[in-house]
């Protein structure tokens, strides 16, 4: 007889989860990755009854997703990636999620680092999962020493050659670097990994003492009220957050949450964002 494996919330460890949505075909607008076209599509969204966190469960094989399939399916190749980069850089600032993000981070950092000695030293930012690198381009223009890390070689080649920032190609979890960063950013990254607490803890170890970490994740609570077709619940997100699960994840990783906000972005995404200070 097949025994059912017990499922635990990856954020609070609770085993009480309820079924929220079920899918027998991809929701409208979901990118058709190779793995989901070849296999029977079945997926469900569960919600933790303690911290409100959502998880997406399925048995489809996603091993190759971020080392190639993601760029293949989303941008085709490096040229396609560069074209998308130029298109987003030219968006009307009022319609750009990224312009608002950069403004928000620069405003917060200016206050956060205002007591530093010397006050105007060049600060270092590391962006995890840099993708198109639109964010780091603007941070570089604002005077930050900027470094990208992404598992896809084409994304890093683009970051170095077109954007002019430093770059590491590979899995952040195995990055070995003595470099310490004043700011580490996770712009829509932690929802893509199976153990977000572990990834955030790794970032804490790459931060300067008392450094700042910025996080954006999909807001499952607001999105769920709008129904199962919302992009926040698409297949490439094993984790979708609640206000409580985001703050709990930060504390478990060794971060003091300084500010958490929920927003609706110009692109219509429902997002939770947070700034946390590295403890110790
Ligand atoms: Zn939970």
For residue 185, report the distance from its CA to the centre of ligand 1, in Å: 24
Domain residues for the domain of 93 are 76-278
pLDDT in tens, the chain (280 residues): 556 788 999 999 999 999 999 999 889 988 776 665 667 889 999 999 999 999 999 988 766 555 556 666 666 677 888 998 999 899 888 888 999 999 999 999 999 998 877 767 899 999 999 999 999 999 999 999 999 999 999 999 999 999 999 999 999 999 999 999 999 999 999 999 999 999 999 999 999 999 999 999 999 999 999 999 999 999 999 999 999 999 999 999 999 999 999 999 988 999 999 999 999 7
Amino acid 189: pLDDT: 96
For 13-53, what is each residue's pLDDT tens digit?
999 999 999 999 889 988 776 665 667 889 999 999 999 99
For residue 53, report the distance from its CA to the centre of ligand 1, in Å: 5
Does the pTM surpass 0.85? The reply is yes
DSSP of the chain: -PPPPP---TTT----EEEEEEESSPPTT----HHHHHS---EEEEEETTT--EEEE-----TTGGGTHHHHHHH-SHHHHHHHHHHHHTS-GGG-HHHHHHHHHHHHHHHHTTT-SSTTPPPEEEEET-TT-HHHHHHHHTT-EEEEEES-HHHHHHIIIII--EEEES-GGG------EEEEEEES-GGGSS-HHHHHHHHHHTEEEEEEEEEEEEBHHHHHHH-TT-GGGSTT-SEEB-HHHHHHHHHHTTEEEEEEEEEE-TT--EEEEEEEEEP-
For residue 221, report the distance from its CA to the centre of ligand 1, in Å: 13
For residue 187, report the distance from its CA to the centre of ligand 1, in Å: 22
Query: In this structure, is residue 160 part of a structural domain?
Result: yes
Query: In this structure, is residue 54 part of a structural domain?
Result: no
Amino acid 91: pLDDT: 87
Query: In this structure, is residue 69 part of a structural domain?
Result: no
Query: In this structure, is residue 204 part of a structural domain?
Result: yes
For residue 82, report the distance from its CA to the centre of ligand 1, in Å: 39
Report the distance separating Cα 189 and Cα 90, nearest Å. 23
Name every residue whose Cβ is closer than 8 Å to that of residue 241 and which is 6 or more positions away in sequence.
53, 54, 190, 191, 217, 218, 219, 220, 249, 272
Amino acid 2: pLDDT: 55
| SS3 sequence of 211-243 | EEEEEEEEEHHHHHHHCCCCHHHCCCCCEEECH
Amino acid 94: pLDDT: 86
Query: In this structure, is residue 23 part of a structural domain?
Result: no
* CATH number of residue 115's parent domain: 3.40.50.150
For residue 32, report the distance from its CA to the centre of ligand 1, in Å: 29
Count of domains observed in the chain = 1
Query: In this structure, is residue 219 part of a structural domain?
Result: yes
User: For ligand 1, a single-atom ion, which residues have Cβ within 5 Å?
Assistant: 9, 11-12, 14, 48, 50-51, 53
Query: In this structure, is residue 30 part of a structural domain?
Result: no
Query: In this structure, is residue 39 part of a structural domain?
Result: no
For residue 186, report the distance from its CA to the centre of ligand 1, in Å: 21
């Amino acid at each position: 007889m097949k025994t059912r494996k017990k499922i635990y919330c990856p954020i609070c460890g609770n085993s009480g989860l309820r079924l929220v949505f079920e899918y027998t075909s991809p929701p409208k607008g979901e990118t058709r990755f190779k793995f989901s076209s070849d296999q029977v599509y079945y997926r469900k969204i569960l919600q933790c009854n303690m911290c409100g966190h959502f998880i997406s469960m399925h048995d489809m094989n996603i091993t190759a997703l971020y080392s190639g399939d993601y760029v293949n399916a989303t941008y085709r190749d490096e040229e396609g990636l560069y074209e998308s980069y130029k298109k987003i850089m030219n968006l009307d600032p009022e319609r750009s999620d990224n312009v608002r993000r950069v403004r928000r981070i620069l405003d917060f950092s200016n206050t956060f680092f205002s007591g530093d000695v010397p006050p105007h030293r060049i600060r270092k930012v590391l962006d995890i999962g840099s993708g198109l690198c639109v964010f780091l381009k603007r941070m570089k223009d604002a005077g930050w020493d900027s470094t990208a890390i992404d598992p896809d070689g084409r994304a890093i080649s683009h970051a170095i050659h077109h954007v002019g920032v430093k770059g590491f190609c590979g899995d952040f979890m195995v990055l070995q670097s003595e470099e310490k960063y004043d700011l580490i950013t996770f712009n829509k990254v932690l929802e893509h990994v199976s153990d977000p607490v572990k990834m955030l803890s790794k970032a804490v170890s790459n931060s300067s003492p008392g450094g700042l970490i910025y996080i954006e994740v999909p807001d499952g609570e607001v999105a769920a009220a709008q129904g199962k077709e919302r992009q926040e619940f698409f297949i490439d997100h094993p984790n979708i957050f609640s206000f409580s699960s985001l703050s709990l994840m930060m504390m478990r990783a060794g971060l003091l949450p300084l500010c958490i906000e929920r927003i609706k972005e110009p692109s219509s995404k429902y997002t939770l964002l947070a700034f946390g200070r590295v403890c110790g």
